Structure 1
Amino acid sequence: MPMRTEPDNLPPISFMEGTVAFPNTSIRQTVKLTLGTKQFFRVRLSNAFGIDDLNIRQATVALSLNNVSGTVEADPKTMRDITFDNGLSETIIPGGAQAVSDPIDLGCAVPRNSIITISLYLEAGQDGQSGVTSHPGSRTTSFCCRGNHVADSNWVDLPAERVEHWYFISAIEVLAPREACVFAIIGDSITDGRCSTTNGNDRWPDRLFERFESNPATSNMSIVNQAAGGNRILADGLGPNVLSRLDRDILSLSGLRYVLIFEGVNDIGTAEANESSQATVVKRIIAGYRQIATRVHARGIPIFAATITPFGRRTEDSDLDAKLMGLSGYSDPIRDQTRRQLNDWIRSSGVFDAVVDFDEVLRDSDHAEMLKPQYDSGDRLHPNTEAFQALADAFPVDLFAKFQDR
C-alpha cells in the first residue's frame, strides 16, 4: 500500500540533492504476482502522498532473472518499455494521483508466483519534504543507480546501492479469467511481514497463498496484502488510518471479492494504559469496525475479521532493559483487557461474515496475554516466521466457498 515516506526512509544520501530525492536516478524493484496472465498486465504507479508532480521519464518491466526477488538482474528476453496514454514513454503524475500503464505483453505467459522487475527513471527527482510515495516495509531489496539504466537488464557492474523499500509502485493488474478474484487483507506490521525474511516472501499471507495454490476452490484467487507497519484503525501513524484509506487501498481494487481485517493492536498499544483511555479505545474501535464492515458490505463484498494477537511480556522480562532488548512497550494488564474485550466482540457481534481466530492460534495456553514462546520474534509483539506458517495453516480456506454465490 502507498504511504508517505518518512525522513528515515528516504533514499541514501547519495541519491539526494538538498531536499530532492532521486534526481537523475534509476530505481529497480521486484514484486511477486499472486495471479498470472496468459498475455497482458499493466502497472500502477502512485504519487498519492506527493504534493509536487512526479515525472517518470522512462520505465521498463521484465521478468526477474531466475525468478528471484531483490535482484538487479532482469531477464533481457522479456524486457519491455512501460508506456502510458497510448504509447508515451514519459508520464507526469499530479500530486495525490496515480498513473495506469498501457497493457504490457512480455511475449510469453506470466504465471502466478512470477517475480516482476520494474525499473523507473526520474530525471528531476521529487522533493522529499513535500512528499514521496513509498512502502517502507517491503521486506524486499530494491536498487538505486545514478543515470538512466532502466533498459539495462544487468546492473551487477553498476554502482547501485541497496534499499529495503518500494518507491512509487502501487499495483500490478493482470488480464485474468472472469472467475479469478482478489482477497484483500487490511493489516499492520504483523501482516506487512515484520520479522519475515528479506526477499524470502514468507509473510503469513505469502504462506497462505501457498495453500491457495493447492486448493481448487482458491486456485484462481489472488491475495493483495494492504498492510503497513504501525497502522491503526483510528489514527494516522506509519501510513494513513484504515478508515481513511479503505476506499483507495481496498474498495478500488479490480476483481475484489473478499476482505479480511486484522488490525487494532496499535490503537490499543498507543493509547494510555488507564481505564478511561482504554474504555474510549474499545468504543471507538468497535465503531470503526462497524463503519468498515458497512462500507465493504455496501459493495456486496463479504468481510472477515481476525482476532487481535497477544503482546504481553514474560515474567523474566522484568529484569531486562526493555528498550535495549527491543521489547514492545504495549504490554500492560489494562491494555490486554481491552484486547480481550475486542476479541470477544469480534467473535460474538455478528458484524463480520466470518471470524478467523488468530489469537487462539498464537496465544500461550498458560498465559493468554502472551505469545507462545515458539512464536515470539523476541519483542513480545511480533510473531516470527514459524508463527506466520501457523497462521496460514490455521486459516480456513474452505471459508470462501460459502460466499461464492453472493
Structure 2
Amino acid sequence: MVRLLISPLGTSLTVRRWKMSVQSFIAKLRSFSFSISALVIWLALLPYTSAVSVASLGRWARNETDEFHWVATWTSMPQLVEPHNLPPEPFTSTSIFQDATLRQTLHMSIGTDRIRLQISNTFGESELPISAASIALPTGGQAGVGDIDTEQLMGLTFNGSPSITIPVGEVVYTDPIDFKINPQSMITVNLYFEAGQSGTSVTGHPGSRTTSWMQQGNYLNESSITEASVAHWYFLSAVEAWAPRTTSALVVLGDSITDGRGSDDNANNRWPDLVLAKMQGNGLTNIALCNQAAGGNAVLTGGLGPPLMERYQRDLLKTAGVKYALIFEGVNDIGVAPTDPATQEQIGNGLISAFKTIASDAKAAGLKVFAATIMPFSGEGQAYSDPTREQTRQMVNKWILGGGEGSFDTVIDFASIVADASDPTILAAEYDGGDHLHPNVAGYQAVADAFPLDIFKASDATVAPKYRRKKIRGFLPSEEIKMTP
C-alpha cells in the first residue's frame, strides 16, 4: 500500500511525483511482461531454429498422449555384421550397397493403421546415406519374397525429405505414415543407396531366418527383385505401431534359441513367433512380442553382439511400449567358459547377479519381469557338454525356479518342457535340433504350447504415463541427424 504524506504546500508536487512513479513502474512492468512473453515464444521456437535439432526432424510425428502411444510391433537386435555375413559381390566393395536396392520382409506382431520405422547405424564406422525408402506388402503376404504389391507401395520420408544421412552410432525414425498392417502379417521395406556405406562396418542382424533381396540400381518401386539374396537383415531395428495405451509389448531377451536357430527360413516358427500366435488366438491381441535375441549372444562378456549386460537398457528399457520382460539367456556364458569348478562357480554367480540387476532396473521402470530356465545341452558331440557345466546350469536354474530371490514376477521352466523324461540333462530326442543344444520346430512348438498366458493380467496391460519412455517428436532423446539436401 502507498501512503501519501499531504501538506498544504506540497500536496500537488507529491501527488505528481507519485503519479510519475506509478507510471514508470507500469511501463517497466509492461516491458518486463513483454520480455517474458518473448522469452516464452523464443523457447517454444528454439527447437525449430537448428537444421539438425531433434524436434525439427520429427515435426510430423504424433506426440504420445494419455490415450495413444508408440508400441514396437517388430524388433531386431542390432549388431555388427561379421565379414562372412556381409552382402555378396557386387554389393560389397569399397562401399556396401553402392547404387543398390535392398528389399527386406518383416513379421509384425500387432496390427495398426499407422507406423514408423527405426533405422540403425549403431555399429557403422561411417555415415549411412539413404537415398530413398518405401514400404509395401509382399506378394501373397509371404515372408522372404522379392515381389511386392505395387498398389500398396508408399514412399517413406525423414522430416519430409525422401533421403537422409545417419551419423555414426545413431538411429533415426521415419516420419509416421498411415499404413494398415494386420496382426502377424508381413511388410516389405525397400531401401535405395546411391553412394552406399563406405567401409565394411555395417549394422544388421545376421540371424534373420528370412530371405532379403538386393538388386543393382534403383529398384525401389519395382514389383520384383531377383538378382541376389541372403538370409540376413541390414539396418532395420524396429517398427513401431501407433496404438491405444492399453496396448503394450513383451520383450524377450535371449540368444540363438530365441533367435530361431533350428527353425525354418521364411516360416516364422521360432518359439516367440509360436507364442505370439497362441496369444493372438486366445484374445491377447493388445500385447506385441518383440524378439531382442541374437545367435551366440552372452550375458556377461564375449559372444556375438553386445553382451546382455551392455545392451539390456537399449533393447529392453528403451523399447517403445514395453510392459513385460522375459529373460532367457546364459547358456553361452556357461558353455564357452573353462570347465574347472572355480570358473564355473564364478560364471554361475555372475549370471545370477546379472539377472538381479536387469530385473531390478526393469521393475524400477514399471515392468513385469519373467524368467525362463536354461535348456539342457549335454550330449555326444556337443562342445558345451560337460558335467561341471551341467552343475552350473542346474545351480542357475534352481535359483530361477525359486523366484530369483524376488527378482521375477513369474518363472517358466523351459528346461523341463524340452528335456528327456528319463535324463533331464539332455534334450528329448523328438525336440533335439541335431546338435543337442538347439530345439527343432517341434521343440519350439512344445514351448509355445506350455507357455502360460495367465502371466499377462488384463489390468497390467496398460503402460502408465509415468513410466512412459520420453521421446522428442519421433526421435530418441538427444539424437541428431543430418539431412541430405
Q: Under TM normalisation by the shorter chain, which class is it?
A: over 0.9
Question: 2:93: which partner in 1?
Answer: 17
- Amino acid of the structure 2 residue aligned with 1:12: P
Separation in 2 of the partners of 1:307 and 1:91?
Answer: 43
- Amino acid of the structure 1 residue aligned with 2:123: F
Question: 1:351: which partner in 2?
Answer: 407
Separation in 2 of the partners of 1:13 and 1:369?
Answer: 44
Equivalent residues of 1:64, 1:75 under 8 A apart: yes
Match status 1:120 vs 2:187: no
Question: 2:181: which partner in 1?
Answer: 110
Q: TM-score, normalised by structure 1?
A: 0.92
Distance apart, 1:199 and its partner CA: 0.1
Equivalent residues of 1:15, 1:23 under 8 A apart: yes
Paired residue for 1:45, among 94, 103, 119?
119
Alignment deviations for residues 241-281 of structure 1 (CA, whole Å, 9 cap, x no partner): 11111111111111111000100000000100110110110
Match status 1:98 vs 2:171: yes
Q: TM-score, normalised by structure 2?
A: 0.77
- Amino acid of the structure 1 residue aligned with 2:274: R
Distance apart, 1:13 and its partner CA: 2.2
Separation in 1 of the partners of 2:392 and 2:181?
Answer: 46
Alignment deviations for residues 147-191 of structure 1 (CA, whole Å, 9 cap, x no partner): 111111222xx5x20100000001111111221110110010000
Query: In the TM superposition, what are the counterparts of 1:4-403 in structure 2 within 5 Å?
Result: 4-18=80-94, 20-37=95-112, 39-85=113-159, 87-106=160-179, 109-129=180-200, 131-155=201-225, 158=226, 160-216=227-283, 218-313=284-379, 317=380, 322=381, 328-348=382-402, 349=404, 350-401=406-457
Separation in 2 of the partners of 1:113 and 1:338?
Answer: 38
Distance apart, 1:402 and its partner CA: 7.5
Larger radius of gyration: 2
Separation in 1 of the partners of 2:78 and 2:236?
Answer: 8
Distance apart, 1:128 and its partner CA: 4.0
Alignment deviations for residues 305-339 of structure 1 (CA, whole Å, 9 cap, x no partner): 000000000xxx3xxxx4xxxxx310000000000
Separation in 2 of the partners of 1:81 and 1:261?
Answer: 37
Separation in 2 of the partners of 1:55 and 1:126?
Answer: 7
Q: State the secondary structure of the residue aligned to 1:176.
A: strand
Separation in 2 of the partners of 1:251 and 1:51?
Answer: 25
Separation in 2 of the partners of 1:402 and 1:166?
Answer: 34
Distance apart, 1:33 and its partner CA: 0.8
Runs (4+) of structure 1 moved beyond 6 Å? none
Question: 2:55: which partner in 1?
Answer: none
Separation in 2 of the partners of 1:59 and 1:219?
Answer: 29
Q: State the secondary structure of the residue aligned to 2:129.
A: strand
For structure 1, list consecutive stretches of 5 or more residues without a partner in the other structure: 323-327
Alignment deviations for residues 114-158 of structure 1 (CA, whole Å, 9 cap, x no partner): 2100010111212343x2000000000001111111111222xx5
Identity of aligned residues (%): 43
For structure 2, list consecutive stretches of 5 or more residues without a partner in the other structure: 1-76, 465-485
Separation in 1 of the partners of 2:444 and 2:266?
Answer: 15
Question: 1:325: which partner in 2?
Answer: none
RMSD: 1.3
Separation in 1 of the partners of 2:391 and 2:89?
Answer: 45
Which structure would you say has the larger RCO, counting Cα contacts within 8 Å and 6 or more residues apart? 2
Alignment deviations for residues 70-112 of structure 1 (CA, whole Å, 9 cap, x no partner): 0011111110111011x10001111111110011123xx3211
Equivalent residues of 1:309, 1:363 under 8 A apart: yes
- Amino acid of the structure 2 residue aligned with 1:289: F
1:233–1:382 Cα change, 3 Å? same
Distance apart, 1:25 and its partner CA: 1.1
Equivalent residues of 1:187, 1:262 under 8 A apart: yes
